[in-house]
Amino acid sequence: MSEKNWRERDLKLAMINWKGEVYVGHIKEIAPEHSEEIIFLSKTFNPLSDELADTIRDLHPDIIDLHADDSLNLIGRYHVVRRLGSRLTHLTLEQEEYVGKRMLRVYELIMEDAILGRIGEYY
């Protein structure tokens, strides 16, 4: 797969379980030509209430449930992490190096975000 085809990957809705809290967000493979494990994660700043999490699951039965390692720092909205099935963990050193050379992809995704992407319209 060529580097240009990474944009063709769909955003997928996900529930992220991290440190005993639940967040909702999207994931997208951003380097499938190198490793499908490397994903961009955009998640809510604050955890969801149990009621809201249940409602989202009811509305989106195909939502992906992910469990993030407690050792990850997922404070904030945007992250690049490694997905191993339903587990989120740290990138390998090789993956970090690969992504480090392609950070423009991450910036593009942030600017396309429905919330923060609009900031760029005013500058």
Closest C-alpha among 21, 35, 48, 20 to residue 80? 35
Q: Is 33 among the domain residues?
A: yes
Q: Is 17 among the domain residues?
A: yes
Q: Is 109 among the domain residues?
A: yes
Share of the chain above pLDDT 70, in %: 89
Q: What residue numbers bound the domain in which 25 lies? A: 3-118
pLDDT at 120: 40
Residues in Cβ contact with 90 at an 8 Å cutoff, skipping those fewer than 6 apart: 69, 71, 72, 81, 82
pTM for the whole structure: 0.85
CA distances, 16 to each of 53, 68, 86, 110 (Å): 10, 7, 9, 19
Report the half-sphere exposure of 62 (CA within 13 A, side-chain side): 4
For the chain, the domain total comes to 1
Give 120 or 77, the one with higher predicted confidence. 77
23 and 48 Cβ atoms separated by less than 8 Å: yes
Q: For residue range 12-22, what is the model confidence (pLDDT) as tens digits?
A: 999 999 999 99
CA distances, 85 to each of 6, 39, 59, 123 (Å): 19, 12, 23, 39
Q: Quick one: DSSP state of residue 10?
A: P
**Mean pLDDT of all residues in 36-58:** 95
pLDDT at 97: 95
Res 2 pLDDT > 80: no
Distance separating alpha carbons of residues 32 and 74, to the nearest angstrom: 22
Res 116 pLDDT > 70: no
Q: What is the mean pLDDT of the chain?
A: 88
Question: Residue 121 — very low, low, confident or very high, per pLDDT cuts 50/70/90?
Answer: very low
pLDDT at 104: 84
